[in-house]
Amino acid sequence: MVISSAIGDSQSSIQSTFASRYVTHCLPKFRMPDNSTPKDAAYQIIHDELMLDGNPRLNLASFVTTWMEPECDKLIMDSVNKNYVDMDEYPITTELQNRCVNIIAHLFNAPCGDEETAIGVGTVGSSEAIMLAGLAFKRKWQNKRKAEGKPFDKPNIVTGANVQVCWEKFARYFEVELKEVKLTEGYYVMDPVKAVDMVDENTICVAAILGSTLTGEFEDVKTLNDLLTAKNKETGYDTPIHVDAASGGFIAPFLYPELEWDFRLPLVKSINVSGHKYGLVYAGVGWVVWRNKEDLPDELIFHINYLGADQPTFTLNFSKGSSQIIAQYYQFIRLGFEGYKHIMENCMANAQMLSKGLEKMGFFEILSKDVGVPLVAFSLKDSSKHTVFEIAESLRKYGWIVPAYTMPADAQHVAVLRVVIREDFSRSLAERLLGDFEKVMKEIVELPSRIAKKMADVAAVIDEVEGGEGAVDETPEGAAKYLKKLVDAEKKISGIC
């Protein structure tokens, strides 16, 4: 008995996750397991599976913050169990949110005094912020149309084709026609002249982008405001402007203070900004602020009292964490105007260094502008043999996540790579990235052309189907014609109409 007990104690003392049965079974994918798993084993197995994710610091596709100071990480964990919506239970958290709203409103030159309360709200991100701003415009337009005895069932919104997908979501979810200004090669933002031409009596607002996702470029909000003011005066319309400053709202005030894009322009009625982008907070916080109380219809604000007191709320979701709100306030008081300015200057300096290094290689044409979000967007000068998608794929083996994509209509034939420069992307990392780009380009240039091979394969199939000659036009237009022939031939064989 003594020996048996000793053996049992020994087995217990050496037991570990990797000596247990849990590592010999796959994690459940579709059903909850019947039995429990020890906490250390559950943690280790999930932790190990997550190692296969990309490294957030090397994810150059994302604008979202991937690093914060340890002190702020601690504040986040201290408040991770607080539900923001419980304002009566967590009044200090609510107060911190209100302080953030006022700080942002003053940063954007809202016409409110030092002692006045600004109109705005914290959101999960800019997508929710845009939905709320769009709903305010739609409701205000409908109320005006009803009062005038005019139809109010066909609202539309004017944007550039370069807008983020959240604008398409708003239009589809809330039944608003989206009128997009098409792009042209070399001009990848909304043309304010074309935008104003699209405005009619059913336009609830024109949305301008301060920091295009595609190239980082700022749209000309000042010109848009002037042109729209003239059209409103001429037609009797009252069409306002919303500025989607998701990426550029925490850049322009620090790098381009003289640039007029915000509430200094009379037609700008609301602005959204992402705290989790250049607001320098982890994912999960956005903001929307309005010029005046009159720009946010009262009927959109709900009042609840079942959490302990009367609480006004204007959100699409209800419960959400408090951590990111608190983290945003930490960044505001920790960095101040001076700190944000230095960080944005560093980001821009690293972006310019990277841009010059890429241009010097001779393969790329830089599409991003000097004024805008600190990113580098660039295309291949010659895409006849290799593509930006091959480059993005090859960079993966060095750990870099660099997105490759095509432009929207009518510039969809332009394919682009983009590197977003965030706070944690240092000069050393920029130099390392340039070195890896040089390696990748050397490897790709020596590879046989995938495009030529694909067109040859297509030609061979067409020849087999149609009995034609195997000549291949090695241009994108030629490839498109061959692909169309192949599809048509397959339809003939299968009988598909």
Listing DSSP states for 88-132 in one string gives: TT-HHHHHHHHHHHHHHHHHTT-S--TTSPPEEEEESSHHHHHHH
Range of the domain at 119: 74-334
Alpha-helix residue ranges (DSSP H) falling in 175-251: 192-198, 221-235
Return the structure tokens found at 3: 């020996």
Residue 10 in any domain: the answer is no
Return the structure tokens found at 14: 């050496």
Residue 197 in any domain: the answer is yes
- Give yes or no: residues 158 and 288 share one domain: yes
- Give yes or no: residues 139 and 282 share one domain: yes
Quick one: how far is CA 260 from the chain centroid? Answer: 23
Residue 201 in any domain: the answer is yes
Return the structure tokens found at 34: 């019947």
Residue 54 in any domain: the answer is no
Return the structure tokens found at 326: 């608190």
As a whole number of Å, the CA-based R_g of the chain is 27
Domain count across the chain: 2
The structure tokens 């929207």 sit at 408
CA atoms 91, 93, 98, 102: torsion sign: positive
Residue 411 in any domain: the answer is no
- Give yes or no: residues 312 and 456 share one domain: no
Return the structure tokens found at 355: 């841009």
Alpha-carbon distance 309 to 305, whole Å?
5
Question: Pick from 314, 334, 354: which residue ends a domain?
Answer: 334
**pLDDT tens by residue, the chain, 497 residues:** 444 444 444 445 556 888 888 888 888 889 999 989 999 989 998 999 999 999 999 999 999 999 999 999 999 999 999 998 888 889 899 999 999 999 999 999 999 877 788 999 999 999 999 999 999 999 999 999 999 999 999 999 999 999 999 999 999 999 999 999 999 999 999 999 999 999 999 999 999 999 999 999 999 999 999 999 999 999 999 999 999 999 999 999 999 999 999 999 999 999 999 999 999 999 999 999 999 999 999 999 886 655 455 567 788 888 889 999 999 999 999 999 999 999 999 999 999 999 999 999 999 999 999 999 999 999 999 998 899 999 999 999 999 999 999 999 999 999 999 999 999 999 999 999 999 999 999 999 888 876 666 555 555 655 665 555 545 555 555 555 655 565 555 444 444 44
Question: Pick from 334, 350, 374: which residue ends a domain?
Answer: 334
Do 280 and 423 touch, CB atoms closer than 8 A? yes
- Give yes or no: residues 328 and 459 share one domain: no
Residue 44 in any domain: the answer is no
Neighbouring C-beta atoms of residue 66, cutoff 10 Å: 16
52 CB-near residues (< 8 Å, 6+ apart): none
- Output the CA–CA distances (angstroms, integers) from residue 90 to 100, 124, 318, in the order listed: 16, 18, 15
pTM value is: 0.87
Question: Pick from 265, 299, 334: which residue ends a domain?
Answer: 334
Return the structure tokens found at 353: 């260094």
- Give yes or no: residues 318 and 457 share one domain: no
Alpha-carbon distance 413 to 165, whole Å?
20
